[in-house]
């Protein structure tokens, strides 16, 4: 099986965020693999262990993104693809999906996996869009994958504790639910082997995809509390009643 | 649990990717490259930079690097001749001042005492320097493994034969998880311990092989904050060291203020871990120091960027352990290569790494990595400027055992006698032996529990807020890496004799005294907060705390520090 | 402007967030002098149109087909593509459900459009409608506008609007119009099988609209049932700050904070939580924060919308009682 995993590099979870224009200041912060994508990678590696084949890690962004691709290689991915783009953070979801789809078109993969969404933008659309652009069937929030020949039996998560089994033909695109597996550690041998694995570099321009932005970030800010804390007074019973009223009629959250 | 470990072999294994470890790796790689380019040694063993392994427990190179820092570039100049254009040096020192603080005022020393003179040096972020060095080391073909620590030593014959890395994927009860990956048995012809201050493997090795010198190692604790301040408040390259308030004269310590570029300032307080009041709180003292008008003027309206803490070895020359044995060398802070008078350890760490590299290169060529051959290392150190510098200040720190004033007097004499002073060598005790039991402290002071510092959230911060800004993270479900050998001591003995100093000296709020279900005191360890400073291992009065390496990748994130 | 809301139902029951989206549509319509339509899609779902026809909207669209009996992304996208072609809405709105995540971006992409998903609100700037969505797990907010001509596609986060603010039809009922669509079996590539319920092995706090969180103030595990009763009364999920999970009083997956989950629910109730920064970064994106703590200087009050300085053991039962009373 040829399995492609779309992996995003995002600012480290604990990085102090400073606003710079319509994005955050990227200097002086650390970057890491988007956690949801690490579950997709783990799933891909398990499928390879079971069915043989190769796992390809693809990522888009500036030069530093190669470090995350190397991590995927160290964990067992066979090769990497880096779409070089310094302005990656500015792309809307459809534009980035178009780049990915174009880069993957010739790969003719059996399966393309993505994480649910990224910890920075949080669009959550990449998998669905790549499937649409490559005209492949897709499914999202996948908890389990069973491959049978040219078909898959999948377990998909719905809200409120509901699940569903679906059948999906190969090739296809799947978005993997987070936390479904215990992600493996990179081994020393894996880290050494990663140095010799190929990371193909393509520029965004060379893909020849023209994509007009479909949306624009007008303003990007840290939400500040505009209201002052309203302290309630009285006996516990009085305060409780007042609070319920406020939550119901003022804040309108219950 | 008994595990099957995968075995790997290297020529050289360096534990720790700090300035010492990376200098060793880079210099050795350069020597090997030149050797191979010149056709290799006729008949000698083939050498490859790929057989040099470096282990780094942090998430990435530089993650655990913290220092003020003022760097003397002389070692870097030897290692990377074009460093001026390629290294992230930040700024040259433009101004150096020594200040004496009283509660509300500061007096500038009319002449900057020689140890505080820093012209020609650079204000740097050690994290950035080390990150950059890591890039050079990897480009040279060396295998640099991040997120791997040295958990235990492999002993063989009279010396060491390598290291076992930590097991990964173990839950907090010691049971293997689904992604359990046993540590590797990494063997090497030479293992270099470059673990930094109070290295955990170094501590074991020194004890087991009796490598200690005539003085036990003593330490200071440095607590640092990195701030972005309003424009105009600080000059890049401005360097000031402060003595006095709030450190009382019976303690050894002082502060620093270094101006970096882009309105960034590095501030911190260092305190020797040999004070008498076991409830002294170094973090609180640091926060207090920031309220001094001199600091307030700089920090007002600014923003805290990062926080961190690290111990530093003060013992100097007479505390330097024997640093060579069959198959092993000790370099950098682990080997006491720090000038405590000038507060400079970076260039000495680098130089020690380079001398170790030369020693190892010769040993590999000769096919002999025994103590006999590795003995060349201390000999090279003797012949180098490391000895010159450290010899001058060999009694410096020990002079302050009895307070600031006698210390200044003694070191003044040492200054004019090439380091000899009145007593040479000046002996000292271990730091924790300075604690006075609670009932011996000044009357009244003992019984009241000091109020925990809260901070105002703008200029001063409580410990938890600061820890958050250290970026420290650990895999939650893993065994506790702070091993307290007898918790009963904490609950019954220490609480009475010393008042549980761990809750005060830990700069990361790891140790807490809580109450168990019967209302009795119980030690609570918040291991995930640990910033790997090693203070607990050093300053615990009963010496029952062993800091061991947690699962690789965990620890602080000292970006920019 | 013509606004079309795509509603959702499954197994004969409404997904109530559909009504929240309808409220959003009504509010946008009021601000832009637009007309709102609501769409029901499936098979044998005509009865759902009744609930919609009674609301203050211009029309209800009914799309039925055998191949739409069970949801599939291919079926829904292809059917709605045809609806949009004939009905020509300018703005197509969805509730941001798991199902919508599965097909709506595809529908938009099929028309060469991008979707602004998971919005928490909107406002008007001049003559443009600006959609507001969170990034960095609620730590930052972005105001986003569409570029290029309509149709435009957007979805709203559950809880962003209140379903009970839905305006009823002023005079009678909105007309229900059927739209025929063509679908062929070979176009539907995935095959939906059984739907089943499982006792969820793990809880996803990031999806909970209301969270009741306990801190050290709870003092002992024996006191937790009081908080659980409150959570039940308010319809919330239980969560906790780190020390509670460290002690094992609640499972690790209920931990909120820098070493646990980051949540942005519409209501976060912090009981006996001091507000250390490690906890606050995990929940300050919540829309409404209520803090109850006996220490008036507790940092949690700095980010709370409503605060009660008091004993949680008195407040919890009082609050539970008041909530039960409000239900009647």
- Tens of pLDDT along C185-236? 999 999 999 999 887 667 788 888 899 999 999 988 999 999 999 999 999 9
Contact between B29 and B137 under an 8 Å Cβ cutoff? The reply is yes
Residues from chain A that touch C266, judged by Cβ atoms under 8 A, are 253
Residues C22 and C149 in one domain: yes
Neighbours of chain B (3+ CB pairs under 8 A): A, C
Residues C61 and C119 in one domain: yes
Place B2 in a pLDDT band, splitting at 50, 70 and 90: confident
Residues B412 and B507 in one domain: no
Q: What is the pLDDT of residue C127?
A: 86
Q: Which residue has the tokens 């370099």?
A: B331
Q: Which among B60, B145, B468 has the least Cβ separation from residue A191?
A: B145
Q: Has residue A172 been placed in a domain?
A: yes
Q: Which residue of A has its CA nearest to B63?
A: A30
Contact between C229 and C320 under an 8 Å Cβ cutoff? The reply is yes
Residues C240 and C304 in one domain: yes
Residues A196 and A243 in one domain: no
Q: What is the pLDDT of residue C163?
A: 83
Residues B501 and B520 in one domain: yes
**Spatial distance between the Cα atoms of B245 and B294, rounded to a whole number of angstroms:** 12
**A28/B contact by beta carbon, under 8 A:** yes
- CA of B144 to nearest chain A CA: how many angstroms apart? 9
Domains in chain A, number: 2
Q: Has residue A250 been placed in a domain?
A: yes
Q: Has residue B33 been placed in a domain?
A: yes
Q: Which residue of A has its CA nearest to B186?
A: A188
Q: For residue B423, which phi and psi values (nearest 5 degrees)?
A: -125, 130
Within 8 A by CB and 6+ apart from C112, the residues are none
Q: What is the pLDDT of residue A153?
A: 97
**Spatial distance between the Cα atoms of B97 and B238, rounded to a whole number of angstroms:** 8
Domains in chain C, number: 2
**Spatial distance between the Cα atoms of C323 and C328, rounded to a whole number of angstroms:** 9
Q: Which residue of B has its CA nearest to C220?
A: B517
- CA of C46 to nearest chain B CA: how many angstroms apart? 49
Q: Which residue of A has its CA nearest to C116?
A: A215
A14-23, B63-72, B246-255: range with lowest mean pLDDT:
A14-23
Neighbours of chain C (3+ CB pairs under 8 A): A, B
Residues B330 and B464 in one domain: no
**What CA–CA distances, in Å, run from C303 to A20, A27, B115, B246, C259?**
24, 28, 48, 33, 20
**Domain CATH code at residue B525:** 3.30.70.20
Q: Which residue of B has its CA nearest to A193?
A: B143
The length of chain A in residues reads 254
pLDDT at B41 over 90: no
Domain that holds residue C93: 2-187
Within 8 A by CB and 6+ apart from A171, the residues are A108, A109, A110, A111, A112, A136
Residues A199 and A239 in one domain: no
Q: Which of residues 449-468 of B touch C (CB under 8 A)?
A: 457, 464-465, 467-468
Which of the residues A11, A13, A16 would you substitute to probe the B interface, choosing the one with the greatest number of B C-beta atoms within 10 Å? A16
Q: Has residue C134 been placed in a domain?
A: yes
CA-only gyration radius of chain A, Å: 22
Q: Has residue C192 been placed in a domain?
A: no
pLDDT at A227 over 70: no
Residues A202 and A232 in one domain: no
Strand order in the sheet with A2-6: A199-203, A79-84, A54-61, A2-6, A111-115, A172-176, A138-148, A151-157, A162-169, C191-197
Q: Would you give the distance in Å from CA B21 to the centre of its chain?
A: 13
**A196/B contact by beta carbon, under 8 A:** no
**B522/C contact by beta carbon, under 8 A:** no
**Spatial distance between the Cα atoms of A224 and A222, rounded to a whole number of angstroms:** 6
Residues C160 and C276 in one domain: no
Residues B369 and B494 in one domain: no
**Spatial distance between the Cα atoms of A197 and A70, rounded to a whole number of angstroms:** 9
Q: What is the pLDDT of residue B404?
A: 80
- CA of B288 to nearest chain C CA: how many angstroms apart? 20
Residues A24 and A107 in one domain: yes
With CB atoms and an 8 Å threshold, state whether C140 touches A222. yes
Residues C130 and C92 in one domain: yes
Residues A184 and A252 in one domain: no
A121-125, B179-183, B324-328, C197-201: range with lowest mean pLDDT:
C197-201
Contact between B188 and B53 under an 8 Å Cβ cutoff? The reply is yes
Residues B421 and B485 in one domain: no
**What CA–CA distances, in Å, run from C291 to A135, A253, B225, C259?**
50, 15, 31, 21
Residues from chain A that touch C323, judged by Cβ atoms under 8 A, are 244, 254
Place C277 in a pLDDT band, splitting at 50, 70 and 90: confident
Q: Which among A13, A185, A195 has the least Cβ separation from residue B168?
A: A185
pLDDT at B130 over 80: yes
Residues from chain A that touch B60, judged by Cβ atoms under 8 A, are 30
**Spatial distance between the Cα atoms of B438 and A35, rounded to a whole number of angstroms:** 49
Q: What is the pLDDT of residue A90?
A: 86
B310-324, B351-365, B427-441: range with lowest mean pLDDT:
B427-441
Residues B23 and B139 in one domain: yes
Place B444 in a pLDDT band, splitting at 50, 70 and 90: low
**Domain CATH code at residue B190:** 3.50.50.60
Q: Has residue B371 been placed in a domain?
A: yes
Task: Read off the pLDDT of each residue in B426-445 and give the average, rounded to a whole number.
Answer: 84
With CB atoms and an 8 Å threshold, state whether B476 touches C259. yes
Task: Read off the pLDDT of each residue in C259-286 and give the average, rounded to a whole number.
Answer: 90
**Model pLDDT for residues A40-91, shown as the tens digit of each residue:** 999 999 999 999 999 999 999 999 999 999 999 999 999 999 999 998 888 8
**Spatial distance between the Cα atoms of B377 and B353, rounded to a whole number of angstroms:** 10
Q: What is the pLDDT of residue B176?
A: 95
Residues B467 and B542 in one domain: yes
Residues C267 and C129 in one domain: no
Q: Which residue has the tokens 């300085």?
A: C309
CB atoms within 10 A of CB B178: 10
Residues C230 and C178 in one domain: no
Q: What is the mean pLDDT of chain C?
A: 92
Q: Which among B464, B476, B477 has the least Cβ separation from residue C276?
A: B464
pLDDT at B324 over 80: yes
Residues A98 and A63 in one domain: yes
> Which of B425, B440, B472 is the endpoint of a domain?
B425
Task: Read off the pLDDT of each residue in B45-56 and give the average, rounded to a whole number.
Answer: 92
Residues B369 and B404 in one domain: no
Q: Which residue has the tokens 């079971």?
A: A50
| pTM across the whole model | 0.92
> Which of B392, B416, B439 is the endpoint of a domain?
B392
Task: Read off the pLDDT of each residue in C3-16 and give the average, rounded to a whole number.
Answer: 92
Contact between A173 and A114 under an 8 Å Cβ cutoff? The reply is yes
Q: Has residue C194 been placed in a domain?
A: no
Residues from chain B that touch C278, judged by Cβ atoms under 8 A, are 464, 467-468
Residues C111 and C254 in one domain: no
**Domain CATH code at residue A9:** 3.40.50.620
Q: Has residue A217 been placed in a domain?
A: no
| Residues C194-217: b if buried by 16+ CB within 10 A, e if exposed | eeeeeeeeebbbeebbbbbbbbbb
Q: Which of C113, C143, C152 is nearest to C34 (CA)?
A: C152
In this structure, what is the dihedral angle of CA atoms C17, C23, C25, C27, given to the nearest 10 degrees?
-150
Q: Which of A12, A222, A219 is nearest to C138 (CA)?
A: A222
Count of alpha carbons within 13 angstroms of residue B408, beta-carbon side: 9
Q: Has residue A218 been placed in a domain?
A: no
Which of the residues C259, C260, C280 would you substitute to probe the B interface, choosing the one with the greatest number of B C-beta atoms within 10 Å? C259
With CB atoms and an 8 Å threshold, state whether C319 touches A95. no
Residues C33 and C98 in one domain: yes
Domain that holds residue B525: 460-547
With CB atoms and an 8 Å threshold, state whether C145 touches A215. yes
Domains in chain B, number: 3
Residues B361 and B382 in one domain: yes
> Which of C160, C187, C214 is the endpoint of a domain?
C187
Q: Has residue C196 been placed in a domain?
A: no
Residues C152 and C52 in one domain: yes
Residues C22 and C81 in one domain: yes
Place B220 in a pLDDT band, splitting at 50, 70 and 90: very high
Q: For residue B40, which phi and psi values (nearest 5 degrees)?
A: 70, 170
Q: Has residue C197 been placed in a domain?
A: no
Residues A173 and A237 in one domain: no
Contact between A155 and C190 under an 8 Å Cβ cutoff? The reply is no
With CB atoms and an 8 Å threshold, state whether C246 touches B477. no
Q: Has residue C193 been placed in a domain?
A: no
Residues A40 and A70 in one domain: yes
pLDDT > 90 fraction of chain B, expressed in percent and rounded: 83
Residues B187 and B52 in one domain: yes
Residues C216 and C101 in one domain: no
Question: DSSP 3-state assignment of C195?
Answer: strand
Task: Read off the pLDDT of each residue in B100-129 and give the average, rounded to a whole number.
Answer: 90
CB atoms within 10 A of CB B113: 14
Domain that holds residue A254: 224-254
Q: What is the pLDDT of residue C302?
A: 87
- CA of A172 to nearest chain C CA: how many angstroms apart? 10
Q: Has residue A63 been placed in a domain?
A: yes
Q: Has residue C195 been placed in a domain?
A: no
Residues B383 and B354 in one domain: yes
Residues B61 and B148 in one domain: yes
Q: Has residue B253 been placed in a domain?
A: no
Contact between C306 and A246 under an 8 Å Cβ cutoff? The reply is yes
Place A225 in a pLDDT band, splitting at 50, 70 and 90: low
Residues from chain B that touch C299, judged by Cβ atoms under 8 A, are 457
Q: Which residue of C has its CA nearest to A129?
A: C106
Q: Which residue has the tokens 């569409």?
A: C146
With CB atoms and an 8 Å threshold, state whether C267 touches A253. yes
Residues from chain A that touch B560, judged by Cβ atoms under 8 A, are 28
Q: Has residue B58 been placed in a domain?
A: yes
pLDDT > 70 fraction of chain B, expressed in percent and rounded: 98
Contact between B395 and B182 under an 8 Å Cβ cutoff? The reply is no
Residues from chain C that touch A35, judged by Cβ atoms under 8 A, are none
Place B406 in a pLDDT band, splitting at 50, 70 and 90: confident
């Amino acid at each position: 099986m040829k399995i492609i995993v779309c992996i995003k590099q995002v600012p480290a979870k604990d990085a102090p965020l400073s606003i710079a224009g319509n994005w955050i200041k990227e200097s002086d912060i650390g970057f890491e693999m988007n956690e949801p994508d690490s579950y997709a990678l783990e799933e891909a590696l398990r499928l390879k262990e079971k069915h043989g084949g190769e796992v390809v890690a693809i990522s888009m962004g500036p030069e530093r993104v190669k470090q995350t691709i190397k991590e995927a290689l160290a964990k067992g991915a066979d090769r990497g693809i880096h779409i070089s783009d310094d302005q990656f953070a500015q792309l809307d979801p459809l534009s980035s999906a178009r780049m990915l789809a174009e880069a993957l078109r010739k790969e003719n993969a059996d399966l393309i996996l993505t994480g649910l969404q990224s910890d920075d933008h949080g669009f959550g659309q990449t998998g669905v869009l790549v499937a649409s652009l490559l005209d492949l069937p897709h499914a999202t929030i996948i908890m389990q994958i069973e491959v049978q020949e040219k078909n898959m039996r999948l377990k998909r998560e719905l809200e409120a504790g509901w699940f569903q089994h679906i059948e999906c033909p190969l090739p296809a695109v799947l978005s993997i639910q987070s936390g479904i597996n215990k992600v493996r550690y990179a081994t020393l041998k894996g880290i050494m082997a990663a140095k010799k694995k190929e990371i193909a570099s393509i520029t965004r321009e060379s893909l020849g995809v023209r994509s007009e932005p479909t949306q624009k970030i007008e303003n990007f800010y840290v939400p500040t509390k505009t209201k002052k804390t309203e302290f309630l007074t009285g006996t516990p019973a009085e305060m409780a009643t007042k609070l319920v009223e406020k939550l119901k009629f003022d804040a309108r959250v219950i | 649990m008994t595990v099957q470990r995968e075995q790997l072999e290297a020529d050289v294994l360096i534990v720790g990717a700090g300035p010492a470890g990376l200098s060793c790796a880079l210099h050795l790689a350069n020597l090997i490259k030149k050797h191979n380019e010149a056709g290799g040694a006729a008949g000698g063993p083939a050498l490859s930079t790929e057989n040099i392994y470096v282990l780094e427990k942090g998430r990435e190179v530089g993650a655990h690097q913290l220092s003020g820092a003022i760097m003397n570039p002389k070692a870097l100049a030897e290692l990377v001749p074009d460093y001026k254009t390629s290294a992230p040096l930040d700024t040259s020192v433009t101004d150096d001042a020594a200040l004496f603080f009283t509660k509300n005022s500061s007096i500038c020393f009319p002449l900057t005492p020689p140890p505080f003179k820093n012209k020609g040096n650079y204000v740097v972020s050690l994290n950035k320097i080390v990150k950059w060095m890591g890039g050079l080391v990897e480009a040279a073909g060396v295998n640099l493994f991040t997120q791997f620590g040295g958990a235990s030593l492999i002993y063989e014959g009279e010396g060491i034969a390598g290291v076992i890395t930590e097991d990964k994927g173990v839950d907090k009860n010691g049971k293997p998880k689904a992604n359990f990956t046993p540590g590797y048995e990494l063997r090497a012809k030479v293992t270099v311990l470059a673990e930094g201050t109070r290295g955990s493997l170094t501590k074991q090795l020194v004890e087991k092989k009796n490598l200690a010198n005539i003085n036990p190692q003593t330490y200071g604790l440095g607590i640092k904050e990195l701030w972005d301040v309003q424009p105009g408040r600080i000059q890049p390259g401005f360097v000031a060291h402060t003595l006095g308030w709030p450190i009382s004269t019976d303690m050894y310590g002082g502060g620093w203020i270094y101006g970096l570029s882009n309105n960034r300032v590095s501030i911190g307080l260092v305190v020797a871990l040999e004070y008498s009041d076991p409830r002294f709180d170094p973090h609180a003292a640091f926060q207090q120091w920031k309220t001094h008008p001199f600091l307030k003027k700089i920090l007002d309206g600014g923003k805290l960027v990062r926080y961190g803490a690290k111990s530093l070895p003060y013992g100097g020359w007479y505390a330097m352990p024997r640093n060579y044995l069959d198959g092993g060398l000790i370099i950098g802070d682990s080997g006491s290569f720090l000038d405590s008078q000038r507060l400079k350890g970076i260039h000495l760490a680098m130089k020690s790494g380079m001398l170790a590299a030369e020693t190892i290169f010769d040993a590999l060529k000769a096919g002999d990595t025994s103590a006999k051959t590795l003995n060349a290392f201390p000999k090279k150190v003797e012949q180098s400027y490391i000895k010159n510098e450290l010899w001058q200040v060999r009694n410096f720190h020990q002079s302050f055992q009895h307070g600031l004033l006698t210390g200044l007097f003694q070191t003044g004499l040492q200054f004019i006698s090439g380091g000899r002073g009145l007593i040479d060598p000046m002996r000292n005790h271990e730091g924790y032996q300075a604690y006075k039991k609670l009932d011996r402290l000044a009357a009244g002071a003992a019984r009241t529990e000091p109020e925990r510092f809260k901070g105002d959230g703008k200029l001063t911060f409580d410990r938890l807020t600061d820890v958050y800004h250290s970026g420290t993270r650990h895999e939650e479900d893993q065994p506790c890496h702070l091993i307290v050998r007898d918790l009963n001591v904490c609950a019954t003995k220490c609480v009475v004799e010393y008042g549980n100093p761990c809750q005060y000296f830990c700069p990361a709020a790891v140790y807490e005294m809580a109450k168990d279900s019967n209302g009795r005191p119980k030690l609570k360890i918040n291991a995930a907060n640990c910033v790997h400073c090693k203070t607990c291992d050093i300053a615990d009065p009963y010496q029952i705390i062993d800091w061991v390496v947690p699962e690789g990748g965990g620890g602080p994130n000292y970006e920019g520090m | 402007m013509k606004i079309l809301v795509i509603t959702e139902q499954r197994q004969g029951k409404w997904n109530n967030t559909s009504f929240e989206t309808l409220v959003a549509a009504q509010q946008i319509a009021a601000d832009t002098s637009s007309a709102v339509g609501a769409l029901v899609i499936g098979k044998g779902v005509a009865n759902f149109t009744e609930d919609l026809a009674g609301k203050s909207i211009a029309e209800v669209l009914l799309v039925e087909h055998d191949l739409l009996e069970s949801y599939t992304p291919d079926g829904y996208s292809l059917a709605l593509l045809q609806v949009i072609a004939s009905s020509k809405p300018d703005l197509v709105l969805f509730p941001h459900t798991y199902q919508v995540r599965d097909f709506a971006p595809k529908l938009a992409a099929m028309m060469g459009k991008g979707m602004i998903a998971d919005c928490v609100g909107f406002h008007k700037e001049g003559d443009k409608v600006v959609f507001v969505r969170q990034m960095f797990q609620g730590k930052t907010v972005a105001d986003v506008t569409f570029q290029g001509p309509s149709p435009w596609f957007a979805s709203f986060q559950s809880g962003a609007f209140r379903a009970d603010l839905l305006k009823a039809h002023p005079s009678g009922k909105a007309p229900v119009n059927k739209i025929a669509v063509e679908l062929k079996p070979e176009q539907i590539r995935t095959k939906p099988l059984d739907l089943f319920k499982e006792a969820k092995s793990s809880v996803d706090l990031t999806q909970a609209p209301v969270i009741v969180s306990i801190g050290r103030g709870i003092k002992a595990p024996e006191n937790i049932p009081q908080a659980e009763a409150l959570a039940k009364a308010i319809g919330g999920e239980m969560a906790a700050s780190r020390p509670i999970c460290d002690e094992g009083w609640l499972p690790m997956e209920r931990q909120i904070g820098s070493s646990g989950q980051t949540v942005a629910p519409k209501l976060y109730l912090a009981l006996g939580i001091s507000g250390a920064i490690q906890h606050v970064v995990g929940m300050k994106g919540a829309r409404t924060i209520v803090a109850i703590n006996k220490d008036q200087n507790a940092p949690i009050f700095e980010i709370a919308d409503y605060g009660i300085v008091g004993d949680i053991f008195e407040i919890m039962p009082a609050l539970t009682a008041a909530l039960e009373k409000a239900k009647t």
